[in-house]
């Protein structure tokens, strides 16, 4: 029987209600990430790190200073279970699943997770993620550091230059297949070599020239 694999997805959370059960370092990291994604975040924990308290005082998140109960997560789209008490995490997970919320187990029992959060490295609009399907989060973090050191800034800057060119190409070329064919030829080895050398002006000029010259086959 084939082993079950994760389905990779980038999730839009703008305006979605999300809860974090727990007030420690993992909860803080998840809270910051969810806020950055535009989520409406509630932290549920009798005690919390000073940073979480500050976020609550600033109105960035809501902090419920009570032990978890099922009523706290009614209406939540996503719930992160991140306490150091496995029984509490388990209760929070099953209560959340019963309401239809997605569950991320940031602490045991991790087998109740609906999804995992990959290690991330980003620059601007570029986001690179690494997942080991939970087999070794440590390796994920190491690989992400390598990506950050060697790729993220270079290609993140190129993405900023490329985005307007993509809009130009979309206006000129109709149909997803035509655009795919174009970009396969436009982002060739020579262009990408220029990007790696941070010669963005030259790379951009080549893509602009390709847009002007490209003629779809009839």
Q: What is the pLDDT of residues 46-58, one digit of tens each?
A: 999 999 999 999 9
pLDDT of residue 3: 67
Helix (H, G, I), strand (E, B) or coil at 81: strand
User: Which has the higher per-residue pLDDT, 119 or 78?
Assistant: 78
CA 9 – CA 155 distance, rounded (Å)? 21
User: What confidence tens digit (pLDDT) does each residue in 161-215 have?
Assistant: 999 999 999 998 888 899 999 999 999 999 999 999 999 999 999 999 999 998 8
User: What confidence tens digit (pLDDT) does each residue in 125-154 have?
Assistant: 888 888 887 778 889 889 989 988 888 999
Indicate yes or no: pTM above 0.75.
yes
Rounded to a whole number of angstroms, the CA Rg of the chain reads: 22
Helix (H, G, I), strand (E, B) or coil at 207: helix
* Phi, psi of 106, rounded to the nearest 5 degrees: -85, 0
- Give CA torsion, residues 12, 133, 61, 121, to 10 deg: -80
Per-chain mean pLDDT for the chain: 92
State the pairing for strand pair 126-130/78-81. unpaired
pLDDT at 111 over 80: yes
Question: Residue 14 gets which letter from DSSP?
Answer: T
């Amino acid at each position: 029987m084939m082993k079950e694999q994760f389905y990779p997805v980038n999730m839009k959370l703008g305006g979605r209600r999300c809860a974090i059960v727990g007030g420690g370092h993992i909860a803080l990291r998840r809270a910051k990430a969810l806020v950055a994604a535009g989520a409406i975040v509630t932290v549920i924990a009798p005690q919390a790190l000073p940073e979480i308290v500050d976020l609550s005082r600033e109105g960035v998140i809501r902090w419920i200073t009570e032990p978890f109960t099922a009523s706290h997560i009614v209406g939540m789209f996503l719930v992160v279970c991140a306490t150091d008490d496995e029984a509490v995490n388990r209760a929070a997970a099953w209560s959340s699943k019963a309401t239809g919320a997605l569950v991320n187990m940031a602490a045991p029992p991790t087998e109740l997770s609906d999804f995992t959060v990959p290690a991330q490295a980003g620059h601007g609009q570029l986001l690179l993620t690494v997942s080991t399907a939970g087999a070794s989060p440590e390796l994920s973090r190491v690989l992400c550091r390598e990506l950050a050191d060697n790729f993220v800034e270079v290609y993140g800057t190129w993405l900023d230059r490329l985005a307007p060119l993509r809009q130009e190409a979309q206006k000129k070329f109709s149909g997803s297949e035509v655009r795919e064919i174009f970009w396969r030829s436009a982002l060739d080895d020579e262009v990408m070599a220029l990007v790696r050398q941070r010669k963005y002006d030259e790379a951009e000029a080549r893509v602009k020239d390709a847009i002007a010259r490209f003629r779809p086959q009839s």
